[in-house]
Amino acid sequence: MNQYIAEAIRSQDYQKSSALILKYLRGKLGQKVFPYPIPDVFTPQGGKRTTGIRYFLNIKGPQSVRINWQSTGGKTGAYGVTSLDFFDGARNPQLIPSHHVQFKEEQSLAKVLPLIVDLVKGNISSGDGVYVTEEVSAIYQAAGSLLEDFNDVLQEATYTSGEISKTLSNVIHALQQGMSPRDQHIAGGNKKYGPRWKQIIDFITNNYPDVFRKEGLKRVVEIDKVKKIDANKVLAAVTGGEDAIAFNVSPGSREVPEVDGISEEDQDRMTYEEQLDALKTGMKLLMSNATNAIFLGGRGGCLAGDESIDIRIADDVGV
């Protein structure tokens, strides 16, 4: 797991973290994902000063997504992800996020990246929810393909979103139809019934043994006893865990942006290629109408008397 995105973001690792996130998003959403070259600093209505890594998407019109964090304090200058904002492009310009995803506790980048993909694709519902990382197949673990880098890990794992209460409802409905745990497994397990299906089945089996009876080698459902299952008790037992992200989705609020330029120290650290890439990104955003202006700045300087500047304006900017 790459050190830059496995846990929190360190302020000095912004550029490297941003590049790794871009690699993942382009792998999942296509090449039309462009990073904003500097942190997006703002204060949401009624909230605290927040910093974000923002990406513009030219997939279904001018959209953008922003990963937000706040300082956790301490000597490392580390940051944990606190929320996400999605601008769906329904308005132009769109100053207020259409979707705000607030995490119940700070998360690492590695855990929230798949959720971002589902958010952009419209697979995340409004209100409270839990996003779950399901168990990775032992075949992939044995093959060692999960040890390469964070991108391999995230692509091999199976992620699914939704409220676990829906999974429980599906399981109870299946039991009421006489479908045993084995029948549900054959029907699809997690993929059919939802996240935490196995944990729910195991909990019911261990805590409500009267729901099943043995017929030879088979377990048969006692349909009239399914009603004894306490749904709240089951949910309390299976909702937590390191692979689950509790969140709430609501419309975004007004925010006050903070103009935060790049310091001279940061400029010194940026390579010439990075500066050109930032310029190319700005041009693409301007041409796709995601932004209405682009401002270029640089250090002062002068030319020798025999030097000249050749400025050309092309009819079609090929960027």
The 10s digit of each residue's pLDDT in 16-41 is 777 888 888 998 898 889 888 778 88
Residue at 144 is within a domain:
no
> Which residue do the tokens 């006050």 mark?
256
208 and 115 in one domain? no
Residue at 303 is within a domain:
no
Kindly report the backbone phi and psi dihedral angles of residue 158, in degrees, each rounded to the nearest multiple of 5, phi listed first: -105, 120
pLDDT of amino acid 273: 60
177 and 205 in one domain? yes
**Which residues lie closer than 8 Å to 132 by C-beta, 6 or more apart?**
159, 160, 161, 164, 195, 196, 243, 244, 245
226 and 179 in one domain? yes
97 and 39 in one domain? yes
117 and 80 in one domain? yes
Q: Is the dihedral of CA 219, 222, 225, 231 positive or negative?
A: positive
Residue at 176 is within a domain:
yes
Task: Report residue 153's pLDDT band, with 50, 70 and 90 as the boundaries.
Answer: very low
265 and 176 in one domain? no
* Cα–Cα distance, 267 to 299 (Å, whole number): 10
Task: Report residue 157's pLDDT band, with 50, 70 and 90 as the boundaries.
Answer: very low
127 and 174 in one domain? no
Mean pLDDT throughout 233-238? 80
The total of structural domains in the chain comes to 2
pLDDT of amino acid 3: 41
* HEC per residue, 127-178: EEEEEEECCCCHHHHHHCHHHCCHHHHHHHCCEEEECHHHHHHHHHHHHHCC
184 and 86 in one domain? no
Residue at 306 is within a domain:
no
Residue at 185 is within a domain:
yes
Nearest-10 Cα torsion for 73, 79, 80, 83: 110
Quick one: which of 274, 268, 265, 258 has its CA closest to 37? 274
66 and 38 in one domain? yes
* Cα–Cα distance, 290 to 284 (Å, whole number): 8
Task: Report residue 202's pLDDT band, with 50, 70 and 90 as the boundaries.
Answer: very high
Q: Are 225 and 211 in contact (CB under 8 A)?
A: yes
The token pair at 27 is: 């792998």
Average pLDDT, the chain: 74
206 and 103 in one domain? no
pLDDT tops 70 at residue 183? yes
Residue at 313 is within a domain:
no
186 and 70 in one domain? no
Quick one: which of 222, 226, 224, 242 has its CA closest to 234? 226
The residue segments making up the domain with residue 185 are 164-241
Residue at 297 is within a domain:
no
